[in-house]
Structure 1
Amino acid sequence: MIQQIHRKTIKSSITLKGIGLHSGKTVTLRLHPAEAGTGLIFFLYKGLSKVRIPVSLDHVVDTSNATTIGDGGSNRIQTIEHLLAAVHTLGITDCILEIDAVEVPIMDGSSAPFWEGIRSAGIQELEETIEPIRIANPMWVVDGDKYLVMLPSDELKVTYNIDFNHPLLRGQSYTTTLNENILSEDILPARTFGFLKDVEALQARGLAMGGSLDNAVVLTDDGYLNESLRYENECVRHKILDLIGDLAVMGRPFYGHLIASKAGHALDISLAKCIMSQVTGDELTKFKSKRVPLFSKKEAAR
């Protein structure tokens, strides 16, 4: 049976710099230790002021090309999933994230630089515990021929299938358990990928200005523009990375068997909302079953 685990933060502050995928401009990201119960909170610096944007499902405002959170107004931070995949892998539950741009730096297109940076800062285990998310029944979300399922399990594992209209990405699948070692070695280093024709179209619109072979796997009509891949099936591994990073927005460790076919950020976040809806209901039911009185005896006597 899964036991409660300790909350964690980082031991010391670190600074990570890279370029923004869309802006092509340098982005500075600083991570700081935080007290238990803080959660993951971004502070977006805008001149001399800063805007607070918590990492939570309630603050997800867009999932079109990446996962974006916002404050309900005009302030947004996009492409948070690569950073969160590393945060989840290392069990970080509480951290302050300061950023001076509206997008997390793309780094090398994977989660590995974030994982390495956080590891270099050290991990501090806190006294307080956090209960992992458990689901009692299968849950799923469907969009046409795309679907994402989570089955009850005492460990985290995934079966993922992609099927793009490309000779190298038809029916590519991967199944694995996802403990810290496997995530750090087999999933987090997998880079984001895209198609050359789409990159050219985006750049013509002033987007993806920071995209290059240094931070992405780029596919031509019949092959790869890159000289080599980190894994033969690097693309499907990166989709798993995105899935873990997206689900990390729930703010708690989670276990289950994830089964995905042609999913993406929108389905990832939809599943996360379904999971939290069930988990919250189950936990409220458990709380009510304890028959805790609404008033103390002293208050009831008034």
Structure 2
Amino acid sequence: MKIIHRKTIKDSLPLKGIGLHSGKTVTLKLHPAEAGTGLIFFLYRAGQKVRIPISLDHVVDTSNATTIGDGGSNRVQTIEHLLAAVYTLGITDCILEIDSVEVPIMDGSAGPFLDGIRSVGITELKETIEPIRINSPMWVVDGDKYLVMLPSDELKVTYNIDFNHPLLKGQSYTTKLDESILTNDILPARTFGFLKDVEALQARGLALGGSLDNAVVLTDDGYLNESLRFENECVRHKILDLVGDLAVMGRPFYGHLIASKAGHALDISLAKCIMSKVTGDELTHFKSKRIPLFSKREANS
């Protein structure tokens, strides 16, 4: 079985872009971190520095994007594109400083984050990390929407979308998800939306940063964009979102993901289901081997 080492970035990486909803410039800085740090946001807000770890326990909203928070009013939203890039490159430990409540949308894909991280380099740490492997099927269902994970020695996906639009009816895609395929075939796919929905959001003061520069926009019967990066760019972006959402688990994972009309809410629900099962299995494994879960010092403290 391949040993997976924890990784961080070699140098700090400053990134700037527009917030999808605010339309304002966002500054995001990534910094190297020690092994075991995990992925942590530091949000600079009202003169304060707020710490928000990226974990399932800190997911507070999945309505339009994946949002983490500190349990109070401090939140960072639309983290999934950044996390898809971080996951693809195996980054396990990184400090992320941000001066806004939303990660910049960049060009609507995960490509700029991927390219930025590669430009500063990656450091492989001596510490290792255990990947998540399941030994039985797991699934979550919401009406006619579902998301399944089957046991597999590799990561792959079968994804189906079926929107009420002539170009997005029954669009499906099946692929392995190794670093090369994620880099070339998934992460460049841009977020997408419907013109009527964008107009409604902007009337409410939302999606002010959305444009043809950072999204695929659909009219009633076509696209506003002059061209697409892929013929099936929309379903590929849904896979990007899925990988980014599951990356909130904080560990590499293997399995065959089968999705139909899923989204952020189902993605996070499956992640919680997986971690609940995996954690239980690992505790049982430790107990069966009679390995103490705590040192004497920890047990007596």
Instruction: Please classify the TM superposition score into its range, dividing by the shorter chain length.
Output: over 0.9
Does structure 2 conserve the Cα–Cα contact (< 8 Å) formed by 1:3 and 1:131? no
Could you tell me which residue of structure 1 aligns to residue 82 of structure 2? 83
Does structure 1 conserve the Cα–Cα contact (< 8 Å) formed by 2:42 and 2:49? yes
Paired amino acid for 1:215: N
Could you tell me which residue of structure 2 aligns to residue 104 of structure 1? 103
State the shift of 1:49 in Å: 1.7
Q: Distance in 2 between matches of 1:269 and 1:6?
A: 25
Confirm whether residue 224 of structure 1 aligns to residue 234 of structure 2: no
Paired amino acid for 2:33: A
What secondary structure is seen at the aligned counterpart in 1 of 2:108? coil
What secondary structure is seen at the aligned counterpart in 2 of 1:255? strand
Paired amino acid for 1:30: K
Q: Distance in 1 between matches of 2:157 and 2:46?
A: 42
Confirm whether residue 261 of structure 1 aligns to residue 265 of structure 2: no
Could you tell me which residue of structure 1 aligns to residue 93 of structure 2? 94
* Alpha-carbon spacing, 1:270–1:189, altered in 2? closer, same or farther (3 Å): same
Q: Distance in 1 between matches of 2:161 and 2:148?
A: 15
Does structure 2 conserve the Cα–Cα contact (< 8 Å) formed by 1:158 and 1:177? yes
* Alpha-carbon spacing, 1:291–1:106, altered in 2? closer, same or farther (3 Å): same
Paired amino acid for 2:244: G
**Deviation digits for residues 254-284 of structure 1 (CA, Å, limit 9, x no counterpart):** 0100000000000000000000001000100
Q: Distance in 1 between matches of 2:283 and 2:2?
A: 19
Q: Distance in 2 between matches of 1:76 and 1:117?
A: 24
User: How do 1:1-302 residues align onto structure 2 when only pairs under 5 Å count?
Assistant: 2-292=1-291
Does structure 1 conserve the Cα–Cα contact (< 8 Å) formed by 2:69 and 2:76? yes
**Deviation digits for residues 50-72 of structure 1 (CA, Å, limit 9, x no counterpart):** 00000000000000000000000
Does structure 1 conserve the Cα–Cα contact (< 8 Å) formed by 2:286 and 2:292? no
**Deviation digits for residues 175-213 of structure 1 (CA, Å, limit 9, x no counterpart):** 000000000000000000000000000000000000000
State the shift of 1:150 in Å: 0.2
Does structure 1 conserve the Cα–Cα contact (< 8 Å) formed by 2:28 and 2:99? yes
TM-score (normalizing by structure 1): 0.96
Does structure 1 conserve the Cα–Cα contact (< 8 Å) formed by 2:33 and 2:95? yes
State the shift of 1:292 in Å: 3.5
Percent pairwise identity: 88
**Deviation digits for residues 73-101 of structure 1 (CA, Å, limit 9, x no counterpart):** 00000000000000000000000000000
Q: How many residues align?
A: 296
**Deviation digits for residues 201-233 of structure 1 (CA, Å, limit 9, x no counterpart):** 000000000000000000000000000000000
The alignment's C-alpha RMSD in Å is 1.3
Paired amino acid for 1:90: L
What secondary structure is seen at the aligned counterpart in 2 of 1:66? coil
Does structure 2 conserve the Cα–Cα contact (< 8 Å) formed by 1:190 and 1:241? yes
**Deviation digits for residues 106-160 of structure 1 (CA, Å, limit 9, x no counterpart):** 0000000000000001000000000100001000000000000000001000000
Paired amino acid for 1:148: L
Q: Distance in 2 between matches of 1:295 and 1:134?
A: 24
Paired amino acid for 2:260: S
Q: Which runs of 5+ in 2 are unaligned?
A: 297-301
State the shift of 1:46 in Å: 1.4
State the shift of 1:290 in Å: 1.3
* Alpha-carbon spacing, 1:121–1:145, altered in 2? closer, same or farther (3 Å): same
Paired amino acid for 1:151: L
State the shift of 1:5 in Å: 0.4
Q: Distance in 2 between matches of 1:23 and 1:53?
A: 21
Does structure 1 conserve the Cα–Cα contact (< 8 Å) formed by 2:92 and 2:250? yes
* Alpha-carbon spacing, 1:246–1:294, altered in 2? closer, same or farther (3 Å): closer
State the shift of 1:237 in Å: 0.1
Paired amino acid for 2:201: L
Does structure 1 conserve the Cα–Cα contact (< 8 Å) formed by 2:286 and 2:293? no
State the shift of 1:296 in Å: 8.9
State the shift of 1:3 in Å: 3.0
Could you tell me which residue of structure 1 aligns to residue 299 of structure 2? none
Paired amino acid for 1:276: M
